[in-house]
């Protein structure tokens, strides 16, 4: 009998009430994503055509479009997602503004199940108040399809007075395709490749807050060559906040119980980085902050790095580290982080304040291989993972080549520039 992955779509597209993931009977089904490009492409050459796209068809952009600060209504919704392909063909969409919560799925696209590629979005602004579950991203609020060769820059500012929030400059929530009939051997991880994000995020949430410079929450998605340069301000008033320079909360373990029938259970984040300035207040239960990922579960992190300046505001319930705030069952390999941690309050050196260079909280099954950190922090380091790297090594091309075994000198030179920002005294 075939083993079938089941998933509550309402769970994926809505509440995730308790901030965790589980499987169960499905109630609604998304259209399956086609692996090959569509045979028929329609074209978009102006604002009117962009606003009036049929969400079931595929489109190619033929020119840059400047929305000139006009209020934008997201393409695709929970009940009627964008299921075609969208090819920007190297063009730019700029200057859209969202000040209404719409259906609480906000971005250029609200909900998309198709693939998006070859697009640049600049100077977007998303700013609204919500009293319900909300998803926001410069490209898309909630995404089931793949993303390739997309760059976004802009600002997001959200106040959520009642529920959970998923916020990223690229995508609020990014998930692999799942359905009630999908077998384990048919499952394919989502793909986010060759993407970048730059801008600011401010999120004040009542319940669970998932915020990342690139993606708020990722569910069984493979990232390759992804980056974010971001300033984040975040707080959860009642529950947990997961804050990452790249990804707020990453889950990559959907295949973990099926190792005997699939080629690999690994879903990785590789060749990726974040450069972030993060300010967080822990007013709910706990706040997990990572220069790359706030919370990682079963994810495989390879050849990646992060620089972060983290400011802690109020109380002391934090997991804070240069690469990952909390890691459960994850694997980190050939990666490095630098972090500078300060506080605006005299935080107590209690059991509920965990600050570390690489990872602040791990379980016994986490695997750390050939990974390094440099940290500037005046308080007590509670948890140790990885090895300390010296300031002099961080600026040497040969250290990355021989120790981390990286082979792209352009990547290394970018890493040197970013990682050497920290006060290494």
Per mean pLDDT, which range of 28-32, 378-382, 390-394 is the poorest?
28-32
Q: Is the pLDDT of residue 222 over 70?
A: yes
Whether the predicted pLDDT of 171 surpasses 70: yes
The two structure tokens encoding residue 121: 């979005």
Does residue 124 register a pLDDT over 90? Answer: yes
Nearest to 246 by CA among 296, 212, 223, 198: 212
Q: In angstroms, rounded to a whole number, what is the distance separating the alpha carbons of residues 80 and 73? A: 14
Distance CA 244, CA 359 (A): 12
Specify the pLDDT at position 351. Answer: 65
Is the pLDDT at 219 greater than 90? The verdict is: yes
Residue 378's SS3 state is: coil
Confidence of residue 350 (pLDDT cuts 50, 70, 90): low
Tell me what pLDDT residue 425 has.
39
- Residue 423: predicted pLDDT: 58
Least confident of 29-38, 131-140, 366-375: 29-38
**Over the stretch 321-342, which tens digit does the pLDDT of each residue have?**
999 999 999 999 999 999 999 9
The per-residue pLDDT for 132 is 94
Q: Reply yes or no on whether the pLDDT at 37 is more than 90.
A: no
Higher-pLDDT residue of 264, 174: 174
The mean per-residue pLDDT over the stretch 180-199 comes to 93
Within 13 Å of residue 119, how many CA atoms lie on the same side as its CB?
26
Average pLDDT, the chain: 89
Q: Tell me the two tokens of residue 280.
A: 């967080």
Confidence of residue 179 (pLDDT cuts 50, 70, 90): confident
Residues of the chain with pLDDT > 90, as a percent, come to 77
pLDDT of res. 159: 97
383 has a pLDDT exceeding 70:
no
The per-residue pLDDT for range 275-323, each reduced to its tens digit, is 999 999 988 888 999 999 999 999 999 999 999 999 998 777 899 999 9
Contact 267, 300 (CB under 8 A): yes
394 pLDDT more than 80: yes
Structure confidence at residue 385 as a pLDDT band (50, 70, 90): confident
User: Which pLDDT score is estimated for 349?
Assistant: 60
* 3-class SS letters over 225-239: EEEEEEEEEEEECCC
Residues 295, 326 contacting (CB under 8 angstroms)? yes
Compute the Cα dihedral for 314, 317, 321, 323 and give only its sign.
negative
| Token pair for 354 | 């965990």
What are the Cα distances from residue 227, in Å, to 29, 149, 172, 263, 302? Answer: 31, 12, 15, 28, 14
Alpha-carbon gap, residue 269 to 250, rounded angstroms: 10
pLDDT above 70 (res 9): no
Q: What average pLDDT does range 149-176 have in this prediction?
A: 97
Contact 139, 170 (CB under 8 A): yes
> Based on C-alpha coordinates, what's the Rg of the chain?
20
User: In 3-state terms, the chain is what percent helix, strand and coil (to 5)?
Assistant: 10, 45, 45
Q: What percent of the chain has pLDDT over 70?
A: 88
pLDDT of 232 > 60? The answer is: yes
């Amino acid at each position: 009998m075939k083993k079938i992955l089941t998933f509550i779509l309402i769970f994926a597209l809505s509440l995730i009430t308790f901030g965790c993931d589980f499987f169960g009977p499905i109630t609604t089904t998304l259209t399956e994503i086609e692996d090959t490009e569509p045979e028929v492409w329609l074209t978009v050459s102006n604002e009117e055509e962009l606003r009036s796209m049929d969400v079931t068809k595929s489109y190619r952009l033929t020119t840059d479009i400047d929305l000139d600060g006009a209020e934008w209504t997201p393409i695709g919704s929970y009940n009627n997602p964008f299921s075609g392909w969208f090819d920007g063909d190297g063009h730019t969409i700029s200057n859209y503004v969202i000040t209404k919560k719409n259906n609480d799925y906000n971005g250029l696209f609200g909900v998309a199940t198709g693939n998006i590629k070859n697009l640049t979005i600049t100077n977007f602004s998303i700013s609204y108040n919500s009293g319900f579950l909300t998803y926001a991203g410069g490209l898309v609020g909630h995404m089931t399809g793949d993303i390739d060769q997309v760059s976004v820059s802009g600002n997001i500012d959200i106040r959520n007075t009642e529920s959970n929030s998923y916020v990223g400059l690229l995508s609020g929530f990014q998930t692999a395709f799942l359905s009630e009939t999908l077998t384990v051997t048919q499952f394919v991880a989502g793909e986010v490749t060759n993407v970048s994000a730059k801008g600011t995020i401010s999120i004040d949430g009542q319940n669970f807050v998932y915020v990342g410079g690139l993606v708020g929450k990722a569910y069984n998605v493979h990232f390759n060559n992804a980056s974010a340069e971001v300033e984040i301000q975040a707080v959860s008033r009642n529950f947990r906040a997961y804050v990452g320079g790249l990804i707020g909360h990453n889950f990559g373990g959907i295949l973990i119980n099926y190792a005997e029938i699939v080629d690999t259970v690994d879903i990785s984040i590789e060749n990726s980085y974040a450069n972030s300035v993060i300010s967080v207040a822990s007013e709910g239960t706990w706040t997990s902050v990572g220069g790359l990922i706030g919370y990682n579960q079963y994810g495989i992190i390879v050849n990646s790095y992060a620089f972060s300046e983290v400011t802690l505001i109020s109380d002391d319930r934090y997991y804070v580290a240069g690469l990952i705030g909390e890691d459960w069952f994850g694997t980190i390999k050939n990666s490095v982080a630098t972090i500078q941690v300060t506080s605006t309050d005299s935080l107590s050196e209690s059991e509920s304040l965990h600050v570390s260079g690489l990872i602040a909280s791990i379980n016994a099954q986490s695997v750390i291989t050939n990974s390094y950190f440099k940290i500037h922090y005046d308080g007590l380091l509670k948890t140790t993972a990885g090895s300390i790297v010296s300031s002099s090594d961080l600026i040497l091309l040969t250290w990355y080549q021989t120790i981390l075994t990286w082979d792209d000198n352009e990547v290394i030179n970018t890493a040197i520039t970013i990682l050497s920002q920290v006060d290494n005294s």
